[in-house]
Amino acid sequence: MSRKPRIDPVRWQPPPSRPLPPPDPTPTLTVLDIPGFAPEDVVVDADGTIWTGVEDGRIIAVGSDGSPRVMADTGGRPLGLAFTRDQRLLICDSHRGLLRFDPKTGQLETLVSEINGRVLTFCSNAVESADGTIYFTESTDRFRYEHYKASVIEGRASGSLMRLGTDGQVSVLASGLHFANGVTLTADESAVVFAESTARRLSKYWLTGPRAGTVTPLVTELPGHPDNISTGHDGRIWVAMVSDRNALSDWLSPRAPVIRRLLWRLLPYHLLPDVQSGAWVVSFHADDGRVLSQFRSTDPRFGMATGVVESGGRLWIGRIGGPGLAYFTL
């Protein structure tokens, strides 16, 4: 862990929480060992191969035989992943920005490293539409992944939803977001759905219709923190819930900023308020935000779920804070 950066906390009142319906029967997790730590996101290519990125920068593919292969190394910290129409891999890298990797040629290229002359600081997740437009999030413009707790403790709404057009131009669609995270498209591509982890909500940025260019809420007052998200085969929105709400963090946020500044300065990073372990995923109806399914596992081998994707009758889950991917049968 590098030296902690300075923070400038503000008073912020976290949203209240509403309980979700009781979870579905607890699934039996299968944990898949991979070479590396903290495979934050998980995606599937057209051939059914599982892809993830680990903390040391490597991009790893797992074929049908379960054998992992190192496919690339970003030299940074890969976070959210997504495949494009032509089966190239979009990589959000906290150190390098928005990247694209071609598995056929092995070429790794940078698509976005700066926004309006400012370095892209915490590229978090991305998705490509049918016309080639790429939508991506920046969790915070103030800190990198290694110090994500700084953004939580600071309380500033410093995240954004952005668009990379087919002409190469980058525009900011929504700013002032509380730790913008997962992003996906609705099945009909009428809207981009994005998550704000600390605001504990999902929202829609409308692409078509009378609401085009506006943001409306889809799910609010979640009892935990949504991370990466994906669209299921039937159009539902799968959400990896990295943790229940942290009571200490919620208590500190509206208090005097000097308290949080002192805690940040005096406490070791690992003792600061953090996510709680658990494998928790929820799916929501893309139109009205109804809970369609919810799965929670207390398997001690796997927790801090941050990525989720549906494929071949299985739900694959990525994580931070530990090794390995996991899946269970739907």
Q: How far apart are CA 153 and CA 141, in angstroms?
A: 15
pLDDT at 217: 98
Closest by Cα among 190, 132, 199, 133 to 162: 133
Given a cut of 50, the residues of the chain with pLDDT beneath it are none
Q: How many CB atoms lie within 10 A of CB 209?
A: 9
Q: How far apart are CA 172 and CA 165, in angstroms?
A: 11
Tens digit of pLDDT for each residue in 47-73? 999 999 999 999 999 998 889 999 999
Q: Which residues pair with 206 in a beta bridge?
A: 191
Element (H, E) at 149: helix 148-154
Planar angle of CA 219, 221, 224, nearest 5 degrees? 100
Phi-psi region of 176 (alpha: psi -120 to 50; beta: other; left: phi over 0): left
Q: Which two tokens stand for residue 312?
A: 């071949």
pLDDT at 78: 98
Q: Which residues pair with 69 in a beta bridge?
A: 61
Tens digit of pLDDT for each residue in 124-157? 999 999 999 999 999 999 999 999 999 999 999 9
204, 191 in Cβ contact below 8 A? yes
